[in-house]
A and B are shown apart, each in its own frame.
Chain A
């Protein structure tokens, strides 16, 4: 290596170093801006009222009132709302995983007339705004007496969401065809192949679909709002909304209740971060 080239690389390296420190400063500053609202929420949730309104902002709660959480959760029957939400969300996840995977399997690995047409139809529904279907289904579900039941919130998930079918289909396509053939020779039925061979290999997609559905159902506000009038059937999101309207000055308690409602998602995020990321990424890249 010539002396000139050597000098050049070392100056490049130095400028790279300056660039990197600049990036660190930028990223740290930006990261703080991103995190501050969340940290502020947690800090507010542990404060006494007078501290909530203090200026300049007191970041560290003094005293740290953990009892805010107990108080917030007892001001409305939040335990009941949690139970309802977990029930709905759990069944929604179960429904989406099974129905979407079985449809995806049929589309990806079985030969039948109409296969391509059905797939094209599935893709064409992706752009449909939910409200177009929501008004007529509300009318029908009301007329058959499904208002104030969980059915409108659960049952549709057993009919395979378009995007989830798409994810399963793409994944099943990537699995080697020999798997099915070997199993067929061994006398397995088509359903048996799906159930015993393909599904156990599909943990990554199952994880993504399960988490996406969990987040959707857990966050759902509009469907519970129109279908659940009976407060005994309310979900977390409806409970939070009512809490805000009723006690809108108790910010510390509202923040405590909100933070609690984030907890299951945060726990899920910590134990299954990979699926969270892939779920977000897949919704974009596979276009």
Chain B
């Protein structure tokens, strides 16, 4: 009798203590998403009463609005370069910084230092770095008598500039891989040495499989992050020149918070959600067999 009263109290307290998240979820996630989905079937524009328009926005989004595919293309292209590059570079750095060298802690700090800095301030720093006439890059290139490109102001170089900038934050990924490397039991390496494996085989047979869950998780998070790039694009180029850095998030932002076409923007945001889901699903399908869970 006493026990069951305690169990009942625990049941009630459990719900009560979880309620901050549950309430937030009901209103700010589930409620908001339902509202967003419902809104996307109307012509709601924030100021006037909405009326039902069915699938019109989805039709417009997929077949009429050229900026949708353009911006998804730009965003995908960016992710295609930025995500694998940061992944490989981060892994490589982590392997080097995992060596037992004197002063290695200092080097680690130096390499992840940029990922600690606040993003908006670093964006201004990079605008100056990319400045065509007195920026860091072109000043250095001028030493070698090379006239550097117009970086953020050129259609060919604006998107690559974003990729270069994203590489500056490679230290964050490096830290994660480093922690993963240090979690691999040393006995495995000892066994490999006894078996006479060389460095490459050891890397392929031990390091990579043991690290694969971490790599996989980073890949997924990297894709999700890259598809939602906004701040850099909004502040550095505003999508230009000639929309060459017009990321998908910019398109959603302008549609919703500048033009107040809330209903259409909601439909666009669902497209982003589905696209992220689709890419994650593909990565999971192909990754599943390759990932080794000990």
Contact = CB atoms under 8 A, between A and B. Distances in A.
A194 B16 CA distance: 13
Nearest to B121: A258
Contacts of B257: 138, 225-226
Interface string B6-39: 0101111111111011111100110011011001
Given A221-B120, A254-B124, A284-B179, A113 B11 contact: yes
Contacts of A127: 224, 276-277, 280
B17 A105 contact: yes
Given A137-B28, A160-B21, A191 B179 contact: no
Interface in A106-147: 106-107, 110-115, 118, 121-122, 125, 127-140, 142
B168 A34 contact: yes
Interface stretch (A2-10, A60-68, A274-282): A274-282
B14 A111 contact: yes
A24 B100 CA distance: 12
B58 interface: no
Contact of A111 (B11, B23, B252, B277): B11
A191 B20 contact: no
B79 interface: no
A132 B127 CA distance: 29
Contact of A129 (B99, B127, B216, B269): B269
Contacts of B224: 127, 129
A222 B111 CA distance: 28
Interface in A195-229: 215, 218-219, 221-222, 225-226
Contact of A34 (B96, B114, B266): B114
A190 interface: yes
A274 to B, nearest CB: 12
B235 A241 contact: yes
B52 interface: no
B176 A215 contact: no
Contacts of A36: 136
Interface string B102-146: 000001011111111111110011111100011010011011000
Given A24-B101, A31-B111, A122-B21, A285 B180 contact: yes
B116 A265 contact: yes
A146 to B, nearest CB: 13
A159 B252 CA distance: 26
Contacts, number: 261
Interface in B236-267: 249, 252-253, 256-257, 262, 265-266
A35 B110 contact: yes
A99 B124 contact: no
Which interface class (under 10, 10 to 19, 20 to 34, 35 or more) fits A? 35 or more
A269 B118 CA distance: 11
A151 interface: no
A259 interface: yes
Contacts of B220: 287
Contacts of B179: 281, 284-285
Given A37-B125, A131-B272, A136-B266, A115 B14 contact: yes
Interface residues of B, number: 97
A79 interface: no
A54 to B, nearest CB: 8
Contact of A31 (B11, B107, B277): B107
B111 A30 contact: yes
Contacts of B126: 37
B81 interface: no
A112 B110 contact: no
Given A106-B17, A158-B20, A221 B256 contact: no
Of the listed residues B116, B143, B177, B270, the one surrounded by the most CB atoms of chain A closer than 10 A to its CB is B116
A261 B115 contact: no
Contacts of B221: 283-284, 287
Interface of A: 20, 23-24, 26-27, 30-31, 34-38, 40-41, 44, 52-57, 99-100, 102-103, 105-107, 110-115, 118, 121-122, 125, 127-140, 142, 156, 158-160, 162, 165, 190-191, 194, 215, 218-219, 221-222, 225-226, 236-237, 240-241, 244, 251, 254-255, 258-259, 261-262, 265-266, 269, 273, 276-277, 280-281, 283-285, 287
- A-B CB proximity, top 6 nearest: A159-B24, A112-B14, A287-B217, A284-B176, A106-B17, A110-B14
18 contacts: A30-B111, A36-B136, A102-B20, A110-B17, A129-B269, A131-B249, A132-B36, A135-B256, A159-B23, A159-B25, A165-B21, A215-B118, A219-B119, A226-B257, A273-B109, A280-B115, A284-B217, A285-B179
Given A99-B20, A255-B128, 10 more contacts: A37-B129, A38-B125, A114-B15, A118-B18, A133-B32, A136-B266, A265-B117, A284-B180, A284-B221, A285-B183
